[in-house]
Structure 1
Amino acid sequence: MTTTHRTVWQTPRAGNISRLAQQTEQLGPLPPDQIRVGVSAVGLNFADIFALTGLYSATPAGAFIPGLEFAGTVLEVGADASGFAPGDRVMGVTRFGGYASIVDSEPDYLIPLPDDWDFAQGAAWPAQTLTAWYALTRLGALEKGLQVLIHSAAGGVGLQAMKLTRALGGIPVGTVSSVEKAAWLREQGFDKVLVRERDFARQLTREDLHFDLVLDAIGGKVQQASFAALKPMGRLVVFGAAEFTPTGKRPNYLKAAWRYLRRPRYDVMDMISSNRSVLAFNLIWLWEQKAQMRALLAELGRVSLPPPHVGHRFPFDDVHAALDLLRSGRSVGKVVLEPDAHR
């Protein structure tokens, strides 16, 4: 039976998460170059929160559907599309539009879902694993034996970065915000874990810790202390700024402006003298570079990794509760929504 509608979560404009509301949309004919996927799981990311609150540079103007990754079953294949057939299980990436029960996608943005993974694990894989891989390999130039400091190591990207670092022969050292998360990471087989103290710089100095590579999505004083702990030829790779995460449904612009003014700044002349570097990226721009994205996916296909850890599953109707948990910083692993793909 042909599907005629879909359910989405859409906001009329960025600025307040409370505006995000569920809607039913009519589906038009499938474009000939695309594939229609019935979505069974949607991965949540901090980028969703920043987009919904208007703090993300890539946020669409006007109304938009958040969401960067999903997994589900192919429902229909356009006349000019290839590589997949109805009934195939897939995971995919999208530049917004993922909070939906059905997604139309170009084949280049879809990946076969491993037979032994469920849909939630598939939705937890693309964005966070590509982020970790790009940071470690393309920018971080990770080599065997290097010491890698990974912040928020119990989160989606952090946990994948810990696994990838170990798989590539590096030595991962994770940081987390609580002793409970540290204990959980040790249960996963990672023995080098720091519970970040309020004065992180003093903590690193006291324990005489130095690193070849740092992955940071926190910012602020944590980032400054991490840069100071780099060895010569060390690299700080930045892909987010969690310190700007709003505690409420909308930004506190005064607090955000204060933190922006006090953000870390790096002097290139000093970096030359100390032989350390800072690199930063936003993975969303990769969606426009299909050839490079496919190359990254091919590289990841040659790395043996277990399925990603899904720590929290929410019904599709409970999107606000899921976003609240992600924003709170209490989540472990990935937060996933599970729509009924055939509603």
Structure 2
Amino acid sequence: MRAYQVTDHDQPAALADLPRPSPGPGEVLVRIRACGLNFADLLMQNGKYQETPPLPFTLGMEVAGEVVETGAEVTRFAPGDRVAVFGGQGGLAEFGVFDAARAVKLPEGMDAVAAAAFQIAYGTSHLALDHRARLAEGETLLVLGAAGGVGLTAVEIGKVMGARVIACARGADKLEAARAAGADHLIDAKTDDIRAAVRDLGGADVVYDPVGGEQFTAAFRACNPEARYLAIGFASGDVPQIKANHLLVKNISVLGLYWGGYLSFRPEVLTGSLATLLEWYAAGKITPHVSHVLPLEDAAEGLELLRSRASTGKVVITID
């Protein structure tokens, strides 16, 4: 089978021919049809992600496809079942073996591209806004990086939860994507004063921040008393340092969120969230936004779209 492998953190990943794997106890073998790319893939390729596997490994954290074979002790799935899986790695390949506990059956009408774009982006935003920040109807949500893979889902979910959403992104095209996802107000991170613009709109009760850097400083200063600040990631490359005394003045809470971490200590939170999201999808409340669909041969181009921030929503690799 073909797989997009990392063999050296100082060299780009490349296609390789590998033996087709077989499932062990509690595992499923999946014929992968689509794989969603994530910023974490870039970090993993360079050995900088918190859960980078030992070399060599295959990139690709989330996939959709069909079950081909089940290992011993697997009772929830059978060959032919259409599934999505958050495997953490191994997705940019024709076949993959995954823990059956990480797989979910797809609802009717959800194709492989939508499913591969779904789990991490929507799961991250839903757990952050609902479970961590307890976003309430009528509150003001500020979303930084609002046209990115997770940012657009935060805009969409914020609206489903009844919030007033301020979307901050770079440039007119990305702001239009955020507007189409339901944003009530738009801020151009390239030209606008983020702090002043948010304060003119009454301040933020919850901030969703996958960017960090200077935008963190501006958004933090635009928080209302008792605001909840969600640290999702640091796409800017700059991890902000928070002065504890600044938290005291407005009674602000800073909340971290690592979606995949719930698999190890509270998996029921993650699976419950995903069940809610699939219900919302079936009801037409949320729709994955995929700006680029590329074949496996162009996986490097897909990763570059993330690195250069040239995409909106998700980039998905299809595997024929």
TM-score normalised over the length of structure 2: 0.92
* Bigger mean CA deviation after superposition, 319-328 or 290-299: 290-299
Matched, 1:270 2:246: yes
Match of 2:306 in 1: 326
Q: Distance in 1 between matches of 2:31 and 2:55?
A: 26
Question: Which of 273, 276, 294 is matched with 1:296 structurally?
Answer: 273
Q: Deviations over 1:81-124 (max 9, x none)?
A: 02122111111101222222111122221111222121110000
1:76 aligns with 2:69: yes
Q: Does 1:158 align with 2:151?
A: yes
Please say if residues 152 and 181 of structure 2, whose CA atoms lie closer than 8 Å, have aligned partners that are also in contact. Answer: no
Residue 189 of structure 1 and its aligned partner are, at CA, apart by 4.2
Relative to structure 1, the CA distance from residue 267 to residue 187 in structure 2 (aligned partners, 3 Å threshold; closer, same or farther) is: closer
Q: CA deviation at 1:201?
A: 4.4
Pairwise CA distance, 1:190: 3.1
Matches within 5 A, 1:101-250: 101-198=94-191, 200-201=193-194, 203-204=196-197, 207=200, 209-244=202-237
**Distance of 1:297 and 1:184 partners within structure 2:** 24
Residue 305 of structure 2: SS of its match in structure 1?
helix
2:64–2:85 CA contact under 8 A, matched in 1: yes
Partner residue, 2:288: 308
Q: 91, 95, 103: which one pairs with 2:88?
A: 95
Q: How many Å separate the matches in 1 of 2:99 and 2:54?
A: 23
Alignment of 1:44-83 (within 5 A): 44-83=37-76
Three-state SS of the structure 2 residue aligned to 1:128 is helix
Q: Secondary structure at the match of 2:18?
A: strand
State the SS of the aligned residue for 1:111: strand
Q: Which residue number in structure 2 is paired with residue 339 of structure 1?
A: 319
2:195 and 2:222 in contact (8 A); partners too: no
Contact persistence 1:197–1:203 (CA under 8 A): no
Superposed CA RMSD in Å reads 2.0
Gap runs ≥5 in structure 1: 1-5, 245-258
CA contact (8 A) 2:157 2:286 kept: no
Secondary structure, aligned partner of 2:150: helix
CA gap of 1:74–1:202, structure 2 versus 1, over 3 A, is: closer
Structure 2 unmatched runs, 5+: none
DSSP-derived class of the 2:85 partner: strand
CA distance in 2, matches of 1:29, 1:264: 44
Offset at 1:319?
0.7
Work out which of the residue numbers 215, 234, 256 in structure 2 matches 1:280: 256
- Residue 8 (structure 1) aligns with: 3
Quick one: distance in 1 between partners of 2:59 and 2:262?
Answer: 17
Letter in 1 for 2:268: A
Separation in 1, partners of 2:263, 2:202:
36
2:159–2:182 CA contact under 8 A, matched in 1:
no
Question: Matched residue pairs, number?
Answer: 316
For the residue of structure 1 that corresponds to 2:7, the secondary structure is: coil
Show CA shifts across 1:142-178 (max 9, x none): 1111100011212221111111111111112111101
Cα displacement (A) at 1:56:
1.9
What TM-score, normalized to structure 1? 0.86
**Residue 27 of structure 1: CA displacement?**
2.7
